[in-house]
Amino acid sequence: MDLQDLWFVAIATLWVGYFFLEGFDFGVGILTRALARDDTERRVLINTIGPVWDGNEVWLLTAGGATFAAFPEWYATLFSGFYLPLLIILVALILRGVAFEYRGKERGKGDTGKWRGGWDLCIFFGSLIPAFLWGVAFANIVRGVKLDERHEYVGSFWDLLNIYSLIGGATTLLLFIYHGAVFTALKTTGDIRERAIRMAAQVGVGAVVAAAVFLIWTQAKHGSVATALTGLVAAVALVASWLLNRTGGRDGWTFGLSGAAIAFAAITLFVSLYPDVMPSTISDANSLTVDKASASHKTLGIMTWVAVVFLPLVLLYQGWTYWVFRKRIGVQSIPA
């Protein structure tokens, strides 16, 4: 395997990890409005992801940095062509992060409820908007966009809102909500857990339907034998997770399978994309490929050694964090 191909796989792995981990963060953030009945229950939901959400976002930062270093032309084309949707995602993530820190601060007498309510809305929309727009963005990358001979995007923002990409956005949104619901069931006790199981059962139906439509469309237009296999694994994992959730009592397996469904769905998109990184709908000659977009061999070689040294340390630290905060919590864990 060439270093260009190795780093394409590495970046795909970072995105898979991001969607697996940040997916349940987004789901929990959305469920703070749909699942929690009062401020105490909302605090329970936020506390399930409180110790890990910022660490999960490191996968996004690393994926962006690795793309910039390993495939600078891909980075330039992607971030200039998708400027507005990526800016919206960035603003939503910033507001969401600030909301986690500020919602518990006392602003003054008599207005604590309004203060928290405003930040809770930021958590909700700061989770919902990226959960939808990431699906829209990656569906467009796989489908192809209007790139000219200089690999510059010459379409408009509205060109990105096609039927295929909107179905992709609905798929990621529903998958992340389902993933967040089964994570909540895994991390909580009592009535919240029971309601999370019921919520997952309801949302899971929509997630299965949306994912089936999106994966079948992807396979028909951009698929291969490999994507048929990865898409099938994603579908089986999602259905198995939904069935286990219905039976109850196997929260760990339910969560693991829902994460596997998200991971293999993302793998299907990257396998469909390769060897392109940004296909052009104007002409195949205008498409950005792994070879055309990559940095020099020396740069990729240095990056590889850095990754070999530091990646295991990052994984060990993040794994340790999840181990420390592994216990379930409930309303009894929240002080008055």
Query: CA–CA separation, 332 vs 336, rounded Å?
Result: 9
Please check the confidence at residue 110 and state whether its pLDDT lies above 80.
no
Query: CA–CA separation, 104 vs 207, rounded Å?
Result: 33
Q: Residue 37: which residues within 8 A CB-CB, separation 6 or more?
A: none
> Tokens for 124?
């909700």
> Which percentage of the chain shows pLDDT scores above 70?
98
**CATH code assigned at 88:** 1.20.1630
> What is the structure's pLDDT at 163?
95
Please check the confidence at residue 97 and state whether its pLDDT lies above 60.
yes
Query: CA–CA separation, 185 vs 192, rounded Å?
Result: 8
Q: Residue 237: which residues within 8 A CB-CB, separation 6 or more?
A: 257, 258, 260, 261, 264
Count how many domains the chain has. Answer: 1
- Residue 317 in any domain: the answer is no
- Residue 320 in any domain: the answer is no
User: pLDDT digit string (tens) for 212-262?
Assistant: 999 999 999 998 999 999 999 999 999 999 999 988 778 999 999 999 999
> Tokens for 245?
């959730």
Q: DSSP states of 51-115 as a string?
A: TTHHHHHHHHHHHHHHHHHH-HHHHHHHHHHTHHHHHHHHHHHHHHHHHHHHTTS--STT-HHHH
Could you give the maximum distance between any two Cα atoms of the chain, in Å?
64
Please check the confidence at residue 106 and state whether its pLDDT lies above 80.
no
Exposure pattern of 300-336 as b/e (b: 16+ CB <10 Å)? beebeeebeeeeeeeeeebeeeeeeeeeebbeeeeee
Task: Note down the domain range covering 136.
Answer: 8-300
- Residue 140 in any domain: the answer is yes
**Alpha helix (H) ranges present in 144-189?**
163-187
Q: Among the listed ranges 54-63, 222-231, 289-298, 325-334, which one has the minimum average pLDDT value?
A: 325-334
> Tokens for 268?
């299907």
User: pLDDT digit string (tens) for 258-280?
Assistant: 999 999 999 999 999 999 999 99
- Residue 42 in any domain: the answer is yes
Neighbours of 243 (CB within 10 A): 13
Query: CA–CA separation, 7 vs 305, rounded Å?
Result: 12
- Residue 236 in any domain: the answer is yes
- Residue 254 in any domain: the answer is yes
> What is the structure's pLDDT at 198?
94
pTM of the model: 0.93
- Residue 316 in any domain: the answer is no
Average pLDDT, the chain: 91
| Kind plus residue range of the DSSP H or E element containing 239 | helix 225-247
- Residue 155 in any domain: the answer is yes
- Between the alpha carbon of residue 3 and those of residues 120, 149, 288, 298, 301, the distances in Å are 44, 25, 17, 10, 7
Give the mean pLDDT of 78-98.
Answer: 93
